[in-house]
């Protein structure tokens, strides 16, 4: 058995992960989640990218909101608002159950990997979902007003402060997920970098000591899908962050950030590929429907 290992952040990445899960036998797909977005809030351990992947792969994602669980209710947040509590990070009643269960599990000594897989399995996810590390890594954003925790910048401040620098606190001490390293040693068929934000979704994974080296060393093709179409991100602050950091946002700019790691780059028809050293493929990368996701997954896998 030769496995496909997909590196993913939240929304955009999860769409391709769902496409891959439709196309590949479950035992052949490993989805690696960024945990740099994780944070502690209201005493709960929250892992937004793991949760988006879990809900998406389980068919429980809230497509109307673009985050959280479907068929959600907000009684707890409403009651918390009445108590004067912090409600800038909206936690639905059903979603809360996941955070309670994970927080409890982590506190009782279970690894993030174990509780992630246990919850995913309970919700019917068949593919293997792996956090990049069991150790805490926390993305922080330096703004003109100082450093902010990622979710404070992203959700509480709604990305208003300019981005001067991105850092992954704790990443040097974090140990790569042993299950990921084992999978990389077992001659995977391909590494797929999903169309997630390179700065805050993919680079935290690559920054965990040993992961980048293991990807290069495994010999499999490394295929990234552009998260930028026509100079704009489909969703989220990717283009804006690149611009803040001095790079004109483009599909090519993302490929250049990944550099020699890539063997293949999948981008939208018509986008400029100047300067990309990887083999460029063209495909429709905007994933609106399940058919779009499956088609893009097939296009990506055809390169492997």
Task: Work out whether 75 is an interface residue with a second copy (CB under 8 A).
Answer: yes
Which stretch in 84-92, 137-145, 174-182, 226-234 sits in contact with a second copy by CB under 8 A? 84-92
Which stretch in 1-9, 13-21, 103-111, 275-283 sits in contact with a second copy by CB under 8 A? 103-111
Task: Work out whether 80 is an interface residue with a second copy (CB under 8 A).
Answer: yes
Contact in structure between 13 and 51 (CB atoms under 8 Å): no
Q: Where are the alpha helices (DSSP H) in 123-250?
A: 150-151, 178-185, 203-207, 211-217, 238-244
By CB neighbour count within 10 A (0-12 exposed, 13-18 middle, 19+ buried), where does 110 fall? middle
Strand ranges inside the chain, DSSP E:
4-8, 29-33, 39-41, 44-46, 128-131, 138-143, 146-149, 165-169, 190-193, 222-225, 228-229, 232-233, 264-267, 279-282
Cβ distance to a second copy smaller for residue 123 or 304? 123
Task: Work out whether 50 is an interface residue with a second copy (CB under 8 A).
Answer: no
Nearest approach in angstroms of CB 112 to a second copy is 15
Nearest approach in angstroms of CB 82 to a second copy is 7
Tokens 């483009």, located at residue: 250
Task: Work out whether 94 is an interface residue with a second copy (CB under 8 A).
Answer: yes
Q: Sketch the per residue contact string, 110 through 149, with a second copy: x for CB under 8 A, - otherwise.
A: --------xx--xx--------------------------
Interatomic CA distance for residues 142 and 102, integer angstroms: 29
Which stretch in 90-98, 149-157, 194-202, 278-286 sits in contact with a second copy by CB under 8 A? 90-98
Cβ distance to a second copy smaller for residue 80 or 167? 80
**Helix, coil or strand: residue 41:** strand
Interatomic CA distance for residues 143 and 149, integer angstroms: 11
List residues near a second copy by CB under 8 A. Answer: 42-44, 69, 73, 75-80, 82-86, 92-98, 100-101, 103-104, 107, 118-119, 122-123
């Amino acid at each position: 058995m030769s496995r496909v290992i997909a590196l993913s952040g939240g929304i955009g990445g999860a769409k391709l992960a769902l496409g891959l899960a439709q196309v590949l036998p479950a035992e052949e797909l490993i989805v690696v989640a960024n945990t740099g977005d994780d944070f502690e809030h209201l005493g709960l351990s929250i892992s937004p990218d793991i949760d988006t992947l879990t809900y998406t792969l389980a068919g429980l994602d809230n497509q109307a909101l673009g985050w959280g669980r479907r068929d959600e209710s907000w009684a707890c947040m409403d009651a918390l608002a009445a108590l004067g509590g912090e409600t800038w990070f909206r936690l639905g009643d059903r979603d809360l159950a996941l955070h309670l269960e994970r927080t409890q599990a982590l506190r009782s000594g279970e690894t993030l990997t174990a509780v992630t897989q246990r919850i995913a399995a309970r919700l019917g996810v068949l593919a293997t979902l792996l956090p990049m590390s069991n150790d805490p890594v926390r993305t922080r954003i330096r703004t003109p007003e100082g450093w902010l925790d990622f979710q404070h910048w992203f959700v509480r401040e709604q990305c208003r402060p300019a981005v001067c620098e991105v850092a992954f606190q704790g990443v040097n001490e974090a140990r790569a997920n042993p299950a990921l390293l084992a999978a990389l040693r077992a001659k995977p068929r391909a590494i797929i970098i999903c169309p997630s934000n390179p700065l805050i979704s993919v680079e935290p994974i690559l920054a965990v000591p040993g992961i980048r080296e293991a990807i290069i060393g495994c010999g499999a093709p490394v295929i990234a899908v552009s998260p930028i179409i026509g100079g704009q991100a489909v969703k989220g602050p990717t283009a804006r962050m690149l611009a803040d950091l001095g790079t004109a946002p483009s599909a090519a700019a993302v490929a250049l950030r990944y550099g020699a790691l890539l063997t293949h780059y999948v981008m939208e028809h018509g986008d400029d590929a100047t300067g990309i050293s990887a083999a460029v493929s063209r495909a429709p990368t905007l994933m609106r429907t399940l058919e779009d996701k499956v088609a893009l997954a097939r296009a990506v896998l055809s390169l492997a």
